[in-house]
Amino acid sequence: MEEIIFPNQIRMYRRLRGRSMQELADHLSVSLSAISKIEKGYRRVDQEQLVRVAEFLDCPLQDLFVNEQNSQAEVVQSWRREQERRNKINEKSGLKTLGAGLRQIRNEKNLTLIEVAESADMTLSVYHRIEMGQREVSDKEFKNIAKALGMQPEELKEEIKSLDDKGMLEEIIQRNDAKYKLLSTPRGAIAAFIAPPADTTRVPVYGIAGKDGDVIIDVEKETKKILCPPQLTGKKDVYGVNLSTRRLGSLLPTRSVLFADPTDIVSVGDIAIYYSSATEAKILSIREDENGQLYGLRWNPDERIEIGNDDLNKIHKVVAIYL
């Protein structure tokens, strides 16, 4: 079963700009089928791809998401109907029980999502959706997950059934439902990628415009404090950076704040803050060359920034964006 990731208006903007699906596919270096799934909300796109789509369609990033204020009513209603249909399928197929059981067993074994995902030869996002009860699991995938948990497949099935019979999974299912309900609404889908402030913790924000699109970040000169996005609560090292550069074009409003976490691992597809000196930083899209070496890309004009192995501690991953 394909999974809806978030509602979007990519198709509408593509048609308004007179661009074809093939042109967008070529721009993202993906197949035509992948674009069809992306436009229908069936396929996940990473942060970098979203930025590139907005760049290609010449529209603000936030306009790609469906929302109740400015999206066509039939688009919003269609999204809601599809979500209800998918939820019913999930309930009937027992995916919620399976996901809750896997989460309970993983926690009992003191394993992280990343550890199980990597051992099961899955991406983190795919395994996370399985634990959320929002993705079906093939026999091969289930065997890999069982192995990652140090169990035999039949043993894992019996353990999940036992936990369910004891009523130990209901609380996890309810928490997953509450989280998924937030993500499955037009407004919540935006919050999943561009986090609104919803916590009493305030994060310091730095950054003023520098030369050639750089951002000057001086920790002694905080410009303001902003409410911390809920998913970042407890991350004591997170800080905000004013989007005081146009090297991302008009993709994001100038008032946007990028939340960066110096402790998070940067990978291909991320947006990151790269410190070329103690106070000068560049906002980059992280790419990988044919030799597996990471490098950064800036736009307007395009510029490749080489990143050596000794530079990785100078790169802080952007983990949320506040508009």
**Any bridge partners for residue 239, and if so which?**
260
Report the candidate in 131, 157, 132 with the shortest Cα–Cα distance to residue 143: 157
Among 197, 218, 224, which Cα is nearest to 275's? Answer: 218
Q: Copy the structure tokens of residue 117.
A: 């995902």
The CA radius of gyration of the chain, in Å to the nearest whole number, is: 21
φ/ψ (deg, to 5) at 9: -115, 30
**Would you state the structure tokens that stand for residue 250, as one six-digit string?**
């008009």
| Predicted local confidence at residue 59, as pLDDT | 82
The span from the CA of 52 to the CA of 27, in Å, is 8
The per-residue pLDDT for 194 is: 39
What is residue 177's predicted lDDT score, i.e. its pLDDT? 61
Q: Which residues pair with 298 in a beta bridge?
A: 303
Tokens 């990978």 belong to which residue?
Answer: 267
d(CA 285, CA 56): 15
Nearest to 41 by CA among 73, 68, 7: 7
Strands 202-206 and 239-242: parallel
pLDDT of residue 86: 58
Residue 4 confidence (pLDDT): 43
* Tokens of residue 69, six digits: 């204020």
Question: CA angle at residue 87 from 82 to 90, to 5 degrees?
Answer: 130
- Residues of the chain under the 70 pLDDT cut: 1-7, 47, 62, 66-93, 125, 175-200, 248-252
Contact 246, 283 (CB under 8 A): no
Token pair for residue 315? 């790169």
Residue 10 amino acid letter: I
Q: What is the pLDDT of residue 184?
A: 45
| Per-residue pLDDT at 199 | 40
What are the chain's domains?
A: 90-189 (1.10.260.40), 202-322 (2.10.109.10)
Distance CA 25, CA 32 (A): 6
pLDDT given for residue 165 in this prediction? 84
Closest C-alpha to 104, from 167, 45, 39? 167
Six token digits for residue 79:
């999204």
